Chains A and B, each alone.
Chain A
Amino acid sequence: MSEMLSFVAADEFTLAIVGAEIDLANATELFEELWRGIRSEARGLIVDLSTVRYVDSAGVQSLFDVARELHISRQHLGIVVPQDSPICRLVEITRLDDAAVVANTVDACVLALRDLTQPPG
């Protein structure tokens, strides 16, 4: 559903902007949409939660699942959560930052992902 998600290219990454509250009702859909949005040539996927008012464990589960899928194809997941977002604490509690790069802005996230995907040396 276009309402929930929109994709834009952000340099060598795909940026997915989430536009709806994510709960049990649409978490599976979020996962499927994100999974479909993964481009093999991209180095990773950035999920922007900046404008999202609500995400709960169902949404977090979908993000874990996407991270796992990306990991298989050696890609990385970035998640954008602004510093003042109420979602920050949720990311912390669920240890989502173990599975994905979490940053406050899209730019910060791109930089962090580049660092991660840059071949050493």
Chain B
Amino acid sequence: MILRILPRGSSLPDAEWQSRHRGIMGLLWAHAVALPLFALVRGFSPAHTILESVILPALALLAAVPALSRRARTVVASAGLLTASAILVHMSGGVIEMHFHFFVMVSVVALYQDWMPFGAAIAYVFVHHGAFGALNPESVFNHQAALSRPWLWAGIHALFIAGISATCLVTWRLNETTLGLRQRAEDRLHEEVAVVNTLLEASQLLATSLELEPILHGLARLLASRVADYCVIDLRDPSGVPRRFAAGNTSERQSLAIALEAAPPDLAAADHPVARAFGPGQHIHLLDPAPPDLFGSGVEWPAADLPRSALVVPVIGRHEVLAVLTLARSRGRDPLDEGDMRVAEEMARRAAFAVENARLFDRQRSVSETLQHSLLPDHLVEIPGLEVAARYRAGGPGVEVGGDWYDLLSLANGKAMVAMGDVVGRGERAAALMGQLRTAARVYALEGRSPGSVIGRLNDLLHELGPGDMATMVCAELDPEAGALVLASAGHPPPIAIGPDGRAVLVECSNGPPLGAVARARYDQVTLPFEAGSTLVLFTDGLVEDRSTPIDVGLDRLSRAVAGGPTSLDDLCARALATIDDGCCDDVALLALRMATLGPHLELRIPTRPATLQPLRTTLRRWLAGSGADDQETYEVVVAAVEACANAIRHTRWSGSGCYEVEGSLGEEVVLTVRDEGTWRPERPGDDGGGRGLNIINAFMDHVEIVTDDTGTTVTMRRRLRAGDIAQEVDA
């Protein structure tokens, strides 16, 4: 009881003791200087003065020796001050009022908040007063009673010293209690602040992303570092596959956590705490001690770091337990407690929101993406003689898909139609509208309408489909044989045409109003030359316009990026996309179309689809135009080539790589080789299949050779042209 009331002593923080010690030392040194002066004034001889007061600086120096313990220095300094009192009493000739100095000094040494100075003071006063009183009473007392019985009066003085010591003791004790309370309140406050900070951090983390993976990894890391040593989140995926996110608060624990992620728990094991937490009606469990198989048995755990206590917290969504948080603290730290439980529960509540939101977001995004992908062509039609490359880059983070679209189709007359459009707005509605417009554009183009007419019809259609909806679009029809491009635009950024010399120009077509803006609007079209080797670049405004870039600047920037000598269209697309930042928020669609340059040597790789025959003829005619062949010759060579290609298609359409190759060379004679992957034999004339075709080839070409081996069939056809003969005759 008494022991509990008594203060512990020596409890001052070191810095505080240092500061108080410095003050007390200052006081001691002041006495060491003042007392000799006082002695001289009182008429003591210098020798007596020095002899009596030399003890003070000696004690002061000793109390300053850092090698001594704190307590030793406390006692020495206290003894110094009490000695100063004794000297003062001696020098005043035992005047009783000078004894008050003792009481002042006792109060001063009470600042050390230590037992020793008090004990020392009581003992000092008793021994000093008694001994000196017996030897030389006048140096200690100045009244008769004390002079005659110095030991009795020494005892009385010591008793008073004990009294003031007791008073100081009580003050000190109360002081210590108050300080202790304050300290505990502060500690508690720090803990609460830490909890609030952790929750705030969690809120920030959960708000940064809608993706499940970064959220749960971040949460595991946060809980491992702020609350426990390990945190494992076991997620019940809708697909049924358990997924695990784990973290540890040191690098060793982190590597262990990574191993844990690869070993998700067996949720069928019903007696495991994590499996139980997934069950119905579950709430948080504090496990102290934690079971050794807390995180499953799949991972070798270092014995020194086995979890000591653990919290298993179900993350409860609206309909089911979405996940289970397991927090564990290793041996060597205080076990997890009620406070940690509260934090963990709150975390689980927030995590539940985050997981449900992420799932919702995921579902919505997958719907949008599926829609978008189903509406854009997964690959563009391959048209012999034309090169094409297209890119679609989805906008920055956000759920909604855009309404950018493009299309390329081969028309029955050997021409090609290319279109690029952008439905205003985002989301499923824009994507669905874009799909309708794209299909309709296809139909109108296949009906043989010109670009201006296609756009005009789409404008009418949009007014019927979705009054209030708007879209921009550019549409171009390429006639490779005529080397001409017919172009019309509805409020769309102008395309860029790159000549064979690499010069890039904006195609300024008379830009009509956006689709859906003006009912029954008419769209003019322009015709411009488009020679072999030229490239047309179509794009949506995301590539040339954003919040900080006006469209003029963007168009200029893009023109400079795509200009320059011959380059692959893939490179060209990459250069175009490099003009904008990755994280830009608008969708970007880009399509580049080039009319191949045809030299004397022709090399084509063509899909085995009958629809490619028409553009193939266009390409062959363009190629033969360089040889001086007349119409009849051109027709016959083209028929022969197409007959051979039709055979290749018939025989390999549903097998092999899905392509065949055509090679040609123009010299003294036209040599054409058609190579496919089929091992067919020439059929009898009159057969339904290729028999009649072979007759035609033989009739139209001077020399025909068909070779079949294991890898395929090669038809080689040669024909001398009249223009060549004439040239030779002229030469001769």
Contact = CB atoms under 8 A, between A and B. Distances in A.
Interface of A: 1-4, 20-21, 23-26, 53-54, 56-58, 60-61, 86-87, 89-90, 93-94
A91 B643 CA distance: 15
Nearest to A64: B692
A58 B696 contact: no
Nearest to A60: B692
B646 interface: yes
Interface string B623-647: 0000000011011101100110010
Contact of B696 (A21, A53, A54, A56): A56
A23 B696 contact: no
B699 interface: yes
Given A25-B614, A56-B642, A57-B693, 8 more contacts: A24-B649, A25-B610, A26-B412, A54-B638, A54-B639, A56-B646, A57-B690, A57-B692
A93 B696 contact: yes
A86 B635 contact: yes
Contact of B692 (A1, A3, A53, A94): A94
Contacts of A57: 643, 646, 690, 692-693, 695-696
22 contacts: A1-B412, A3-B412, A3-B447, A21-B617, A23-B613, A23-B614, A23-B617, A23-B646, A24-B613, A24-B650, A25-B611, A53-B635, A54-B617, A57-B690, A57-B692, A57-B696, A58-B693, A86-B632, A86-B634, A89-B632, A89-B699, A94-B692
A69 B407 CA distance: 40
Contacts of B374: none
Contacts of A4: 412
B655 interface: no
Contacts of A25: 610-611, 613-614
B697 to A, nearest CB: 9
B338 interface: no
Contacts of B613: 23-25
B413 interface: yes
B448 interface: yes
Nearest to B448: A3
A89 B696 CA distance: 10
Nearest to A87: B635
Interface in B522-549: none
B448 A61 contact: no
Contacts of B731: none
A83 B726 CA distance: 25
Nearest to A94: B692
A23 B642 contact: yes
Q: SS class of chain B's interface: helix, strand, loop or mixed? A: helix
B429 to A, nearest CB: 33
A63 B448 CA distance: 25
B688 interface: yes
A23 B610 contact: yes
Contacts of A86: 631-632, 634-636
Which one of B412, B447, B638, B700 has the highest number of Cβ atoms from chain A below 10 Å of its Cβ?
B412
Count chain B CB atoms within 10 A of each CB in A2, A56, A87 and give the residue with the most: A56
Interface of B: 412-414, 447-448, 610-611, 613-614, 617, 631-632, 634-636, 638-639, 642-643, 646, 649-650, 688, 690, 692-693, 695-696, 699-700
Nearest to B638: A54
Contacts of A94: 692, 695-696
Contact of B688 (A53, A54, A61): A61
A73 B140 CA distance: 159
A23 B693 CA distance: 11
A53 B413 CA distance: 10
B480 to A, nearest CB: 14
B643 to A, nearest CB: 6
Given A3-B447, A21-B614, A56 B412 contact: no
A2 B643 CA distance: 26
Contacts of A89: 632, 636, 699-700
Nearest to A54: B617
A24 B610 contact: yes
| 7 tightest Cβ-Cβ pairs between the two chains A and B | A86-B635, A25-B610, A57-B693, A24-B610, A57-B692, A24-B646, A93-B699
Nearest to B635: A86
A88 to B, nearest CB: 9
A98 B613 CA distance: 28
Contact of A61 (B413, B632, B692, B700): B692
Contacts of A61: 688, 692
B695 A93 contact: yes
B565 to A, nearest CB: 36
- Determine which residue in B646, B688, B695 has the highest number of CB atoms from chain A within 10 A of its CB, and name it: B646
B411 to A, nearest CB: 9
A28 to B, nearest CB: 10
A31 to B, nearest CB: 13
A68 B589 CA distance: 52
A33 to B, nearest CB: 13
A58 B646 contact: yes
Nearest to B699: A93
A14 to B, nearest CB: 23
Nearest to B639: A56
A16 to B, nearest CB: 17
A12 B318 CA distance: 79
Contacts of A3: 412, 447-448
A4 B412 CA distance: 9
Contact of B413 (A20, A24, A87): A20
A103 to B, nearest CB: 20
